[in-house]
Amino acid sequence: MQPDAPELTDAELIAQVRAGDVNAYEPLITRHREQVFAIVARHVPGAQVAETAHEAFVRAFLSLATYRAEKPFAHWLARIAVRTCYDFWRQQKRRPETPASGLDDDHQEWLERAAQGIARETFEHETAQREAAEVLDWALARVSASDRMVLTLLHREGHSVAEIAASLGWTQTRVKVTAFRARHKLRGILAGQMKDTR
């Protein structure tokens, strides 16, 4: 790694990369990898984080010609990271092994308690937190890649419709329609697991 590289701005490093100095990309990776890992880790399983982050940085490199310096490089890179996660789930959905099993007893119990409104207090406990995250992952595994991304960005990460539209390269209308339908699907999936709502 070049010792003086961190003193250069992102824009200067990008200019060097565009001029043909591929090594100038390495300080950009060093500077932004934590951000990319944090984004990717919120969307893909832990074992796939490193590979997906790798893919995001390679894609960013290949798309550097389209980067416009008016916006910060970090924002542009974040969008590429989100789209890479979306493509990860699209590829996963193309594979035939869609999980068909229901929730196990522990998760079923958590679901019933949450539906009764007594789960929030138990979030203090690590086990309950883990079970909630697992139930959510289980439910999200049963919706499409686009539904999953929109639900996660909107409800879990609290992004606005405009931000999600910008991240995924969609129109705001598409985001709203997808969010509405995805929520309806998710409620149907959850209802199918609740004993007295089937």
Alpha carbon distance 10, 169 (integer Å): 23
CB of 66 vs other proteins, minimal distance in Å: 15
Nearer to other proteins by Cβ, of 23 and 171: the residue is 23
Q: Which residues are at the interface with other proteins (CB under 8 A)?
A: 20, 22-23, 25-26, 29-30, 33, 37-38, 41-42, 46-47, 49-50, 53-54, 57-58, 61-62, 111, 114-117, 119-120, 123, 129-130, 132-137, 139, 155-156, 183, 186-187, 190-191, 194, 196-197
Minimum CB distance to other proteins smaller for 26 or for 163: 26
In whole angstroms, how close is the CB of 7 to other proteins at the nearest point? 19
The CA–CA distances, whole Å, from 58 to 46, 61, 67, 82 equal 20, 5, 14, 14
Q: Distance (Å, rounded) from C-alpha 40 to C-alpha 143?
A: 19
**Beta carbon nearer to other proteins, 47 or 100:** 47
Task: State how far the alpha carbon of 161 is from the alpha carbons of 93, 107, 144, 179, in Å.
Answer: 24, 31, 18, 9
Please say whether the beta carbons of 89 and 148 come within 8 A. Answer: yes
Residue 8 CB coordination number (10 Å): 17
- The least distance separating other proteins from the CB of residue 17, rounded to whole angstroms, comes to 9
* Nearer Cβ to other proteins (29/166): 29
